[in-house]
Structure 1
């Protein structure tokens, strides 16, 4: 009788252990899924703001073209870079390579856009154009929103990546096929000391 009762206790114990283990696995898995969705949401905000900025570029090009007919090379470059940047935006989360490529194209586009703004200095009518001033303000606003959403994206990625490294989530992550996400890091030149000649 003691043997049968011991077997029953052992069976109950093993059943409880299985239920607790499955519950723990499900909770950890769901937490990882939730954090991954936060990363995806944050990235979609980055892409949305990048797209908003890219949508403003054609209007800027048309406005500058109307006043500065001699700047066709720069206008063509801006249009080409905008197309490249638009092609890099996608539905799924980017890996580090795609983020680096996007940063490179965005940097080139930002430099070319700044040159367009500098061109306006040579054309007083363009510089005082209401449409040009509105576009300049909207692009600057879009850039500010991009910076904010990049920070939010990196925070979500940091939270997700840190969670994956914790026990027991790291075990669940291996079984669930979850991997760390890529950060949107600053360019190397951002860490260099700015030299100003006076």
Structure 2
């Protein structure tokens, strides 16, 4: 990743200090990641887009990698509304559709671009990726455990295995085939995961 040159033509309006400056820089970082990718991202390009001087960025983020980590975690660290409709089918449809909505935003695309690049070899970025996805699974696990308690899924169903099965076809399209993902994609993923669980195949390994 370069840190001093950029070919970007974007220039944002000048911003002040403090929270407004941080928000502008982090939003600009996500935009640059989405548009140029991790390898081509530059501090100068982010500064130009955010409307700040690059020395302002270096005063607040010691390295470009620290900036990338802060930008991505800031977008994904908020609480995820976990559905509790009383029916597992409905809960999972809401959850799967929410995943698609999140991962098709600019921040979601930037996250995928970054974790699939050479950046993931860096310990800090690898740790960020693991923490983000583990947090998502932890927050969503109650959907499965409540379904087990209601008798909608077999008692031995493992939440992590179930959620992996649910997410897999969505991420396959997002990452490998670049096929469109929509509510129908989410609903099919739910149907596959439920069928596998009810067949007794999604137990802890």
By relative contact order (CA 8 Å, sep 6+), the higher-ranking structure is: 1
* TM-score, length basis structure 1: 0.31
Q: Which has the larger radius of gyration?
A: 1
Higher helix content, 1 or 2: 1
